[in-house]
Amino acid sequence: MKTLKALRRISQGLFLFLFFYLFLQTESKGFDELGYPVKVFLDLDPLIFLSTLLSSRSIVKLFYLSLVTILITIIFGRVFCGWICPFGTLNNLVGLLKKRETYRFKRFQIKYYILFFLLSASLFTLQFSGLMDPISLLIRSMTVNIYPSFNYAVRAIFDFLYSLDIRVLESVYSIIKRSVLSFEQTFYRQSLFIGGLFLLILGLNLYERRFWCRYLCPLGALLGLLSRYSLLKRSVSEGCNSCGICERNCPSGAINKSQEWLQTECFQCFNCDDLCPQKAVKSGFKEQRGLQVDLTRRQVITYISAGILSVPFIRTTPFLKEEFLNPRLIRPPGSLEEKEFLRRCIRCGECMKVCITNGLQPAFLEAGLEALWTPVLVPKIGYCEYRCTLCGQVCPTGAIRRLSLHEKAKVKIGLAMIDKGRCLPYAHGRPCIVCEEVCPTPKKAIWFERIMIKDRDGKELEIQQPHVDLELCIGCGICEAKCPVVDRPAIYVTSIGESRSKVNQLLLE
Amino acid sequence: MKRRDFLKLTISGFAGLGFNDAFAIFKPAELPDLVVAEGTSHSKVTEKAIEALGGIRRFISRGDVVVVKPNMAWDRTPEQAANTNPEVVKEVVKLCYEAGAKKVKVFDRTVNDPRRVYVQSGIMEAVKKVGGEVFFVDDRRFKEVLINGEAIKTWPLYTEVFEADKVINVPIAKHHSLAKLTMAMKNWMGIMGGSRRQIHQKLDESLADLAMVIKPTLTILDATRILIRNGPQGGNLEDVKVLNTVVAGIDQVAVDSFGATLFGMKGEDLGYVKLAHKRGLGNMNLSKIKIKRIRL
């Protein structure tokens, strides 16, 4: 039916638009609350739901929406892949660049093995599913690379025009700025790595359309398993003359050479229905099931075991030794204790997108491979704004707790220390009070000692030397970010004293 | 009063813009140098202070593009007295439009995130209500300005301030650990681009240097709530003292000198005020200037 295919396309367009819209809204407008359900796509995602449930062993309440996805899949099959998933739609669009379907890899099993690996690892508390979950992957790649690149390009063009004194387009620029650009240009570590992987995945569409969706996507696999028993089925009537047009135009590769239908792989896109010259394709709630993906017991056991074994394999890093701490591993305010944090964080990058100062950055190996791409505050890039609680508001799994303004003021993410060898009043006898001036705690965590010093000519002068009050300091890092000793700040934050840790403490309390 | 000001005043007076203005021309010598107005309605206090200084039409002409520069640097709410009182800013903007200003622009280069500062300070909303243009600072519009001062030779400053017909400084009076107090003269740090944190090494000299190139038409010091400790950011209501006062003047050195008295200090206690006075940029000697006090 033409209408179903058209409806599917409209649905894909709408959900992609909704995704981009919410992505753009994942940005501060200056108010305490964000006001948009920016993580709704992650809430819809049953892979995130299931793996978080397994790894954290607790129910994440907002994920009930994913039960809707499960229900839809049981009734209609993988409509999420064909009608909703924004990453699927993007793959679909890139696939249009490929003129004709030529290559068939046909290893549908791979994504199921990836799924088994990820789920069995998460059962044993290793949460890696966000690395490959399509929604998480999309948000992360957009945040860390694609969107900043887009911003860079647009800004560069208009700045160039501005430098040439061509001001006629300034009004156009201000509209673009307000609607689709970020408030300020953002920069991320790992940007090339994460962005490169993303482009590689999209590029695979030129090799075979929707390569990712067919062979790699673990969410697709989970929905495939659920659609084994789905009620909506495809059937072909007597009129079929095996012309093969359906096979060639199937985005999921769910129709084989002999025009048989793989139920677990079908996206319910209705291309075949639409294109069949004989009008022989029918969809309906029938009893006879289609073909299932061919999973061998041996392989299933192999990948489940591999998932389980990956847990001890990855956990032999010294970071699991209690007092082996990376001083620069500063987690966002409200983050759970490190082990619990890693069990929940899916590295979707929502917190990095919303971080008002661009300070939250994806980790590389700062806390071992297990913490790859988890958020770390890098004060030199951006400090933690005292009255901002947005990261906790957008975190889909509660790895970062949602804090009230009152709680936020008390949560320590580290402590500031002064490098007296570089600090202007200490090392060079020059007045400077910037760290104290910007310190946001109501009673300032930086105080001055007035000292008489002599310059090289023996002339006496009074100078204020800063000290950190460790009880008051919350480790927000604004002092480090604004220190005039720009290259290597004379005051810097390390993770010691962070509220979430029992071990990483300094003060006797 | 400069001849040009006098002429403008005369013209506006004869243009029939109100009896008060016309009346003012006949005794310009009687206008005070500073007006100190006190009262619980902060918009009314602002209005009356300007009125007693000769009225807004003494400063703003029809068709003027006006920059109103509040102190809007911190992610704090109005009652915490870290940013200029939004009521005061709003009243100034409103008066400018009443005097026929074409455009009134309001901005500041913030210290905390600009979005939060503009919203949380309450200034953006207040100014927009009366038709003012509030916008974020655009990095491309800082231009290197020759200052040739004692501490600063050149510095990137925000061009809007120099392109505007009239500039009104609307600072708040607050404690500051190095400058001791931050009021009118220090508020101009808000139009400095680049790495302005460096000027703290020679803060007094730098502020006096800035005053050589930035000559506001009018200065309205907001002392409705002043921050007496833990400035310039505050955060604790116990550090806020409610004075319900607005000080209006043309000479920003005199305004700062008077402002110091609100904290129990004198103008000469402030290095930058003393320096600016010495350089002839203004008069810190309060006994030599005419101060008019109003109570509402």
d(Cα A92, Cα A43) in Å, to the nearest integer? 23
Closest-CA residue of chain A to B119: A30
Burial of B258 (0-12, 13-18, 19+ CB in 10 A): buried
C-alpha count within 13 angstroms, C-beta hemisphere, residue A359: 28
User: A293: which DSSP letter?
Assistant: -
Residue A287 scores a pLDDT above 80 = no
Asked if residue A55 lies in contact with residue A126, where contact means CB atoms within 8 angstroms, the answer is: yes
Closest-CA residue of chain B to A185: B139
Angle between helices A218-226 and A46-56 (to 10 degrees): 100
> Please, which residues have CB within 8 angstroms of residue A222's CB and are 6 or more apart in sequence?
A46, A47, A50, A115
Cβ–Cβ contacts within 10 Å for residue B204, how many? 23
Nearest C-alpha neighbor of A416 from the set A467, A451, A487 = A467
Residue A505 scores a pLDDT above 50 = yes
Domain-terminating residue out of A194, A226, A258: A226
Same-domain check for residues A368 and A435: no
Per-residue pLDDT, A85: 97
pLDDT tens digits, A432-452:
999 999 999 999 999 999 999
Q: Which amino acid is at B211?
A: A
Q: What is the band of B18 on the pLDDT scale with cuts at 50, 70, 90?
A: very low
Same-domain check for residues A426 and A387: no
Per-residue pLDDT, B15: 44
Asked if residue B147 lies in contact with residue B153, where contact means CB atoms within 8 angstroms, the answer is: yes
Same-domain check for residues A176 and A65: yes
Q: Which amino acid is at A3?
A: T
Asked if residue A331 lies in contact with residue A500, where contact means CB atoms within 8 angstroms, the answer is: yes
Alpha-carbon A487 to chain mean position: 30
Domain-terminating residue out of A169, A195, A226: A226
Nearest C-alpha neighbor of A342 from the set A500, A162, A495, A152 = A500
Asked if A438's CB is within 8 angstroms of B111's CB, the reply is yes
Q: What is the band of B221 on the pLDDT scale with cuts at 50, 70, 90?
A: very high
Residue B2 scores a pLDDT above 60 = no
Residue A253 tokens read as: 């590769």
Same-domain check for residues A121 and A212: yes
Cβ–Cβ contacts within 10 Å for residue A84, how many? 22
Count of structural domains within chain A: 3
Residue A466 tokens read as: 């800063």
Which has more pLDDT, B108 or A60?
B108
Asked if B75's CB is within 8 angstroms of A443's CB, the reply is no
Residue B242 scores a pLDDT above 90 = yes
Asked if residue B149 lies in contact with residue B192, where contact means CB atoms within 8 angstroms, the answer is: no
The SS3 of residue B245 is: strand
pLDDT tens digits, A73-88:
999 999 999 999 999 9
Mean pLDDT of A44-71: 88
CA distance to A71, A432, A449, A455, B245, per residue, from A465 (Å): 64, 8, 5, 15, 35
> Please, which residues have CB within 8 angstroms of residue B137's CB and are 6 or more apart in sequence?
B107, B108, B109, B110, B114, B158
For chain B, give the percent of residues with pLDDT over 70. Answer: 90
Same-domain check for residues A92 and A133: yes
Q: What is the band of B24 on the pLDDT scale with cuts at 50, 70, 90?
A: very low
The minimal CB distance from B119 to the residues A31, A159, A443 is found for: A31
d(Cα A249, Cα A37) in Å, to the nearest integer? 36
Beta bridge partners of A361: A376
Number of residues that this document lists for chain B: 296
Is the residue at A100 inside a domain? yes
Is the four-CA dihedral A496, A499, A501, A507 of positive or negative sign?
Answer: positive
> How would you classify the pairing of strands B218-227 and B172-176?
parallel
Q: Which amino acid is at A102?
A: T
How is chain B split among helix, strand and coil, in percent rounded to 5? 45, 20, 35
pLDDT tens digits, B158-211:
999 999 999 999 999 999 999 999 999 999 999 999 999 999 999 999 999 999
In B76-158, which ranges are E strands?
103-106, 133-134, 142-146, 154-158
Is the residue at A236 inside a domain? no
The SS3 of residue B197 is: helix
Q: Among A182-191, A317-326, B7-16, B242-251, whose mean pLDDT is lowest?
A: B7-16
Cβ–Cβ contacts within 10 Å for residue B221, how many? 30
Asked if B203's CB is within 8 angstroms of A431's CB, the reply is yes
The distance of A462 to chain B (nearest Cα, Å) reads 12
Per-residue pLDDT, A381: 97
Q: Does A472 touch chain B (CB under 8 A)?
A: no
Q: Does A162 touch chain B (CB under 8 A)?
A: yes
Which has more pLDDT, A321 or A399?
A399
Nearest C-alpha neighbor of B213 from the set B154, B268, B260, B259 = B154
Q: What is the band of A323 on the pLDDT scale with cuts at 50, 70, 90?
A: confident
Asked if B116's CB is within 8 angstroms of A385's CB, the reply is yes
Q: What is the band of A285 on the pLDDT scale with cuts at 50, 70, 90?
A: confident
Residue A149 scores a pLDDT above 90 = yes
Provide the residue range defining the domain that includes A386: 319-408
Same-domain check for residues A186 and A218: yes
Same-domain check for residues A89 and A139: yes
Q: Terminal CA-to-CA distance of chain A, rounded, Å?
A: 71
Same-domain check for residues A442 and A364: no
Burial of B283 (0-12, 13-18, 19+ CB in 10 A): middle
Which has more pLDDT, A290 or B77?
B77
Alpha-carbon B104 to chain mean position: 14
Could you tell me which residues of chain B have a Cβ less than 8 Å from any Cβ in chain A? 75, 111-120, 124, 136, 140, 176-178, 195, 197-198, 200-201, 203, 230, 232-236, 239
The minimal CB distance from A437 to the residues B124, B195, B232 is found for: B232
Q: Among A228-232, A385-389, A441-445, B212-216, whose mean pLDDT is lowest?
A: A228-232
Asked if A443's CB is within 8 angstroms of B236's CB, the reply is yes
Is the residue at A200 inside a domain? yes
Closest-CA residue of chain B to A438: B233
Is the residue at A8 inside a domain? yes
Nearest C-alpha neighbor of A502 from the set A295, A325, A286, A372 = A325
The distance of B233 to chain A (nearest Cα, Å) reads 7
Residue A58 scores a pLDDT above 90 = no
C-alpha count within 13 angstroms, C-beta hemisphere, residue A505: 10
Q: Is B54 left (phi over 0), alpha (psi -120 to 50) or beta?
A: left
Q: What is the band of B30 on the pLDDT scale with cuts at 50, 70, 90?
A: confident
Per-residue pLDDT, A283: 84
Mean pLDDT of B58-71: 98
The residue behind tokens 């064909």 is A82
d(Cα A483, Cα A438) in Å, to the nearest integer? 10
Residue A433 tokens read as: 């009070």
Domain-terminating residue out of A408, A440, A474: A408
Which has more pLDDT, A475 or A255?
A475
CA distance to A130, A177, B84, per residue, from A64 (Å): 18, 36, 46
Is the four-CA dihedral A336, A342, A345, A351 of positive or negative sign?
Answer: positive
Same-domain check for residues A335 and A403: yes
Asked if B113's CB is within 8 angstroms of A464's CB, the reply is no
Per-residue pLDDT, B9: 47
Beta bridge partners of A64: none
Q: What is the band of B22 on the pLDDT scale with cuts at 50, 70, 90?
A: very low
Residue B27 scores a pLDDT above 90 = no
Report if pTM > 0.80.
yes
Same-domain check for residues A387 and A439: no
Same-domain check for residues A162 and A125: yes
Residue B34 backbone phi and psi in degrees, to 5: -130, 145
Helix (H) or strand (E) holding A375: strand A375-377
Q: Which amino acid is at A203?
A: G
Q: Does A193 touch chain B (CB under 8 A)?
A: no
Asked if residue B81 lies in contact with residue B174, where contact means CB atoms within 8 angstroms, the answer is: yes
d(Cα A130, Cα A120) in Å, to the nearest integer? 14
Is the residue at A283 inside a domain? no
User: B96: which DSSP letter?
Assistant: H
Is the residue at A211 inside a domain? yes
Mean pLDDT of B86-96: 98
CATH number of the domain that residue A353 is part of: 3.30.70
d(Cα B206, Cα B188) in Å, to the nearest integer? 11
The residue behind tokens 């209609």 is A76
Nearest C-alpha neighbor of B69 from the set B127, B131, B115 = B127
Q: Does A464 touch chain B (CB under 8 A)?
A: yes
User: A331: which DSSP letter?
Assistant: P
Is the residue at A379 inside a domain? yes
Q: What is the band of A260 on the pLDDT scale with cuts at 50, 70, 90?
A: confident
User: B121: which DSSP letter?
Assistant: T
d(Cα B218, Cα B220) in Å, to the nearest integer? 7
The distance of B58 to chain A (nearest Cα, Å) reads 34
Helix (H) or strand (E) holding A285: strand A281-285
Mean pLDDT of A228-234: 90
d(Cα B171, Cα B165) in Å, to the nearest integer? 19
d(Cα A262, Cα A255) in Å, to the nearest integer? 6
The string of DSSP codes covering A471-487 is TT-----HHHHH-SS-S
Is the residue at A183 inside a domain? yes
Q: What is the band of A99 on the pLDDT scale with cuts at 50, 70, 90?
A: confident
The SS3 of residue A379 is: coil
Helices (H), A185-232: 191-203, 211, 218-226
> Please, which residues have CB within 8 angstroms of residue B153's CB and are 6 or more apart in sequence?
B146, B147
Per-residue pLDDT, B28: 56
The distance of A499 to chain B (nearest Cα, Å) reads 22
Average pLDDT, chain A: 93
Per-residue pLDDT, A239: 87
Which has more pLDDT, A169 or B74?
B74
Residue A421 tokens read as: 């060898």
Same-domain check for residues A174 and A27: yes
Residue A31 tokens read as: 């108010």
The minimal CB distance from A442 to the residues B136, B177, B230 is found for: B230
Residue A119 scores a pLDDT above 70 = yes
User: Which domains are seen in chain B, by residue range?
Assistant: 1-30 (no CATH), 32-295 (3.40.50.11440)
User: Which one of B117, B134, B197, B228 would you mutate to disrupt binding with A, by most A Cβ within 10 Å of its Cβ?
Assistant: B197
Per-residue pLDDT, A105: 85
Q: Does A448 touch chain B (CB under 8 A)?
A: yes
Asked if B75's CB is within 8 angstroms of A438's CB, the reply is no
Which has more pLDDT, A237 or B214?
B214
The distance of B122 to chain A (nearest Cα, Å) reads 11
User: Which one of B177, B205, B228 would you mutate to disrupt binding with A, by most A Cβ within 10 Å of its Cβ?
Assistant: B177
Residue A123 backbone phi and psi in degrees, to 5: -60, -30
What ipTM does this complex have? 0.92
Q: What is the band of B5 on the pLDDT scale with cuts at 50, 70, 90?
A: low
